Homo-oligomer: A and B are copies of this chain.
Amino acid sequence: MEEGSLSDPWPRLKGLPMGTTVELAGADGRTWQGTLVPSHELSGERIVQLKLDSGYNVGIRVHPADRLVVLERPARANGEPSASGASPAPEILPGHVALLTTGGTIASRVDYRTGGVRPVREESEILSFYPDLSRDGPVHVIPVFDRLSEEISPPDWATLAAHVAEAFRRGAHGVVIAHGTDTLAFTSAALAFQLRRLPGPVVLVGAQRSPDRPSSDGPGNLQAAVRLARHTTLGEVVVLMHAGLSDDRYAIHRGTRVRKMHSSRRDAFQSRNGPPLGWVGAEGVVLDQPYRSAEAGEVTVEPLESRGGILWSFPGLDAASAARFVEPLRGVVLAGTGLGHVSSIHLPWIREAVKRGVVVAMTTQCLEGPADPFVYATGRELLRAGVLYLDDLLPETAYAKMLWALAASTDPVEVRRLMKLDLAGEFSPRHSVGGPA
């Protein structure tokens, strides 16, 4: 602890790095303890922003007579030179966790000009919001994009996969990807098919509430994600998010089996067709479902095709519109009703598309349970028309997998064979994919 100064603390406060823990004792007898975080653009002069232990941020007007004590300097990690300047830390530290940032709520804050939430622009801003991040070891921040996740598209998935592979090649123990929640589950599924022989965990994490709201799940989620990324044996792409109502329990979802099932709740993400792989909580990291182990050797990145799509069926969808939608595609995932059905008015265009080599796959828009062609006459008709039934793959996962399979082969027979292999734990064990390929 450093001595409190009796002179005006404002100039000194302005010089302290974000993440410094301070105590401010006011002339009015009140005392504040917290971590320095960036002030809002429109905060007045002499206002300092503190993140309290309670998780709340407060803006405090600093009076010349206030007393300032610096309790703790922020951890030096992330390739920042040490304060002394004598022995600069290596750019990449051994056993580090690579934190790839992409934008999204987990790295966003309220824009006080528009009233909306905007992605943060500065890497340092993220770090200063999360001063505890490197508590258990070094974290290396790698900004990849700066955009909300609804703007992330399949070519971005390829970019992200390349960054993950590069981080592992440079010695990362595990990789955390801070990502907007809107399309987080699409990205996790895509990475699961693109990345092969993972030497450690790839943990996608997001926040449903922006970091300057007291109810924000960002700090907890990110802390737990970094903790999970230090797990020694997990070799999968997973999504880590708040679980249930408790504040200290985080679910580890398999990247191919998870979906955002609520637009605003903190526990919006759910594993479908089975429980989460495990949990991060008071008891540490617990993996209570079978998982793929980390593999030795070089991680590889597989490419994606772009000419795929998802077509969600509904009563009244006319055959001409559906055919037109599928026309430019090499593969389409139908989200059919129930066990995987669409009206028989779609049979002609499906037959025609299959004939010209389009892979037409079926999933269920129920988002749980299998697509199964063998229960109803409709399913058998669709199967005969050449539809590939994908059991309990989520439509989103089936789409990501199809972009991968279409890139792996130009032969529809081979694409169909690849689609039915269990490559990333995407099929639940109780189901099996039926029907001819």
Can you name the residue of chain B whose Cβ is closest to the Cβ of A340?
Answer: B263
Cβ 8 A contact of A377, one of B114, B157, B310, B380:
B114
Query: Residues of B contacting A182 with CB < 8 Å?
Result: 337-338, 341
User: Is A135 an interface position by the 8 A CB rule?
Assistant: no
Query: Residues of B contacting A371 with CB < 8 Å?
Result: 263
B369 adjacent to A337 (CB under 8 Å): no
| Stretch in A67-75, A241-249, A311-319 with 4+ CB within 8 Å of B | A311-319
A242 to B51, CA, bound (A): 49
Shortest Cβ gap from A119 to chain B (Å): 9
A376 to B186, CA, bound (A): 20
Can you name the residue of chain B whose Cβ is closest to the Cβ of A396?
Answer: B314
User: Is A352 an interface position by the 8 A CB rule?
Assistant: no
Query: Residues of B contacting A105 with CB < 8 Å?
Result: 376
A368 to B148, CA, bound (A): 21
A353-387 near B? 1/0 per residue, CB < 8 Å:
00000000000101111111011111110000000
A364 to B208, CA, bound (A): 15
A321 adjacent to B315 (CB under 8 Å): no
A150 adjacent to B324 (CB under 8 Å): no
Shortest Cβ gap from A104 to chain B (Å): 10
Cβ 8 A contact of A150, one of B183, B306, B341, B375:
B341
A228-264 near B? 1/0 per residue, CB < 8 Å:
0000000000000000000000000000000011111
User: Is A168 an interface position by the 8 A CB rule?
Assistant: no
A372 adjacent to B321 (CB under 8 Å): no
Cβ 8 A contact of A337, one of B118, B183, B310, B312:
B183
A81-118 near B? 1/0 per residue, CB < 8 Å:
00000000000000000000000010000010011111
Additional 20 contacts, C-beta under 8 A, given A116-B376, A153-B343, A154-B315: A105-B376, A117-B375, A118-B377, A148-B341, A148-B377, A149-B338, A156-B315, A180-B338, A183-B315, A187-B315, A261-B368, A262-B366, A263-B366, A263-B369, A265-B368, A309-B314, A309-B316, A309-B321, A311-B312, A321-B325
By Cβ-Cβ distance, the 5 closest A-B pairs, closest first, are A263-B369, A312-B312, A182-B337, A182-B338, A150-B341
A-B contact pairs, 19 of them (CB 8 A): A105-B376, A116-B375, A116-B380, A117-B376, A150-B336, A150-B342, A153-B315, A183-B315, A261-B368, A262-B369, A263-B366, A263-B370, A263-B371, A263-B372, A308-B316, A311-B312, A314-B399, A316-B403, A367-B367
